[in-house]
Chain A
Amino acid sequence: MYSNQVIARDVPGLDIKSEIPLLEKKGFLQTQVFVPDRLRNVNPHNALEAGRSLALTTCSNCHSLSSTGMRPLANYFGGNTDVAMVQTYLQGALGTGNTIYMPHIPLNDDEAYALARFIVSLNPSPQPVVRTAAAPEKE
């Protein structure tokens, strides 16, 4: 079991099943108990809050979500304000379980975007960079 309470592999002796396949299929927001209903599906209006809920569920056991305390989350992104870049990192490194000392966190596209939005918002710089189809990069 990871420190964020996700069971990462089968334990046949205790009849325990890995939760990773379910998370890959349905996502965290749909399967976690303590998520307000209005945040279970990510949309442009709730992405930041949904991202905070994800950070509370998957990150805050090891990373402080404020600027102080234990291993503040914002410090690990070098002040990056590019949401797409953070999202790529989340899905590429954490989503595949290929980061040493970090749990496997399988985020779908919406969840990775929401969490990236929240992580970028922790940065004290003015505005996050958000790429959209209409405007590939905008400040």
Chain B
Amino acid sequence: MDAAMLYALRDPAGIPSHPIIFLVLGVLTWALHIAAVQVMLGASALTLYGAFSRDAHWRRLAAAMITTAKVAVSVAIVLGVAPLLFVQVIYDPFWYTSNVLSARWVIGFIVILILAYLAMYAFYYRNPKLASQPTRSAWQMVASLVLMLVVGWIMHVLSYQMLLPEQWMGWYAPNGNINPGGQSLHAYSVTRFAFFILLSVAVVAAWLFAYRRYLMGRPGEDAGYIAWLLPLAHRLMLAGGVLAVASGALWLATLPEKMAWFATSAWVWASAIALLTAAFFPRLLGNKLDQGLWGYAPFGIGAVALIVVAAAREALRFITLLGTHGYDALDYKINLDWYSTSLFFITFAVLGGVVLGYLLTVAWKAGQTKGVYTPSPALTRLGNLSIGLLVLWIVQYFAIGFYVWAR
């Protein structure tokens, strides 16, 4: 598959803004997406461990983590759409080919994800008092976690097949005989998959530090439980750091020849430094963890580390496809569309900022209050502003559409 063929698979209409915008947004949104995925996986694992434990603290943690996991799934799905869109804009020859070559699994992805989510909710509804009553139907949570890993595996394969255009024809027409069935997953890297999955141990540890700090802000919380969370979070962070470094090293050691340059690149060093910093940061903080908002800092540092890892992952793709296959994702034809580009950023920054800011503030403050929570007048004004902005957005959307249609 030479460069001319890859370029022939591009969308002839071009893209509505400079490709660097899609590249950078792809990295940032993928980092957010994978953070939600890893919180979900880690929270699911903690739920399972707690569900099989008789320890009161573990059972309380399991009850908290099942609610975390089910919210994290929806966040992961919502945040997963954005990087999916960005990758299919500038890497469409690769993404769509990979999808069509494994078409049945792409469709299966949706079905399996629905089953995984249903199993998680089934477990949640079967165990409304997980902290104080024996666990029921634990198999549902096991099934959910296994199926979530299966959908992760499918997405891993689709992303990995993108990087191997030299093998596409062999998969589409083995020995020259066309097989358009799309029934196979053709290429994978167990070590790459393991790295991103095992990273969830460190991510959920960072989450536990933030969870602990959140509980400290609530009046009348169980001090014994809060104290019990700290060494658990430290242990998980240490184990997560070791697992990330070990599995990352294994991934780098098993890179195919054309990607071998990545193992010694600055991208890997930057990622290793970022991950180790995130892993040791809570220990460096020491007692400061209990002061001010420092308790949330490990998750913030972890998020930055994930952005660095996401950038390295993107560099591996961009440089491999450019260097080995002559495909430059940044030379995509541009048909600049100022309206859609402006609308995107205004929606993201203004509408997203205000509406999400309102919703998160209400959820936050309600959770930190015992009894009935009444928002302050300023927060109520923010809520009214959110509604006004949403209405304005809907009106301008249809007004522009009508104007274009009518002129």
Which A residues form the contact surface with B (CB < 8 A)? 7, 11, 14-17, 33-34, 36-39, 49, 52-53, 56, 60
Contacts and interface: CB of A to CB of B under 8 A. Distances in A.
A34 B8 CA distance: 11
Nearest to A56: B180
B53 interface: no
A7 B12 CA distance: 9
Across the A-B interface, the 6 shortest Cβ-Cβ residue pairs:
A36-B173, A36-B176, A33-B5, A16-B12, A38-B176, A14-B13
For chain B, which range describes its interface: under 10, 10 to 19, 20 to 34, or 35 or more residues?
10 to 19
Given A16-B13, A34-B173, A56-B180, 17 more contacts: A7-B12, A14-B12, A14-B13, A14-B14, A15-B14, A16-B12, A17-B12, A33-B1, A33-B9, A34-B168, A34-B172, A36-B169, A36-B173, A36-B176, A49-B177, A49-B178, A53-B178
B374 interface: no
B168 to A, nearest CB: 8
Contacts of B8: 33
A17 to B, nearest CB: 8
Contacts of B335: 14-15
B333 interface: yes
Interface of B: 1, 5, 8-9, 12-14, 168-169, 172-173, 176-178, 180, 333, 335
A56 B179 CA distance: 10
B229 to A, nearest CB: 54
Nearest to B180: A56
Contacts of B173: 34, 36
Chain B contact residues: helix, strand, loop or mixed: loop
Contacts of B13: 11, 14, 16
12 contacts: A14-B12, A14-B335, A16-B12, A16-B13, A17-B12, A33-B9, A36-B173, A37-B176, A49-B177, A49-B178, A56-B178, A60-B180
A31 to B, nearest CB: 8
Contacts of A52: 178
Nearest to A32: B8
B264 to A, nearest CB: 34
A32 to B, nearest CB: 9
A60 B180 CA distance: 11
A16 B9 CA distance: 14
Contacts of B168: 34
Contacts of A15: 14, 333, 335
Contacts of A14: 12-14, 335
A118 to B, nearest CB: 12
Nearest to A34: B172
Contacts of A37: 176
A15 B10 CA distance: 14
A130 to B, nearest CB: 23
A96 B321 CA distance: 39
Nearest to A39: B176
A34 B169 CA distance: 7
- The residue in B1, B8, B12, B14 that gathers the most chain A C-beta atoms within 10 A of its C-beta is B12
Contacts of A16: 12-13
Contacts of A49: 177-178
A72 B9 CA distance: 27
A52 B172 CA distance: 14
Contact of B178 (A11, A17, A36): A36
A107 B225 CA distance: 75
A49 B173 CA distance: 11
Nearest to B170: A36
B63 to A, nearest CB: 48
A100 to B, nearest CB: 26
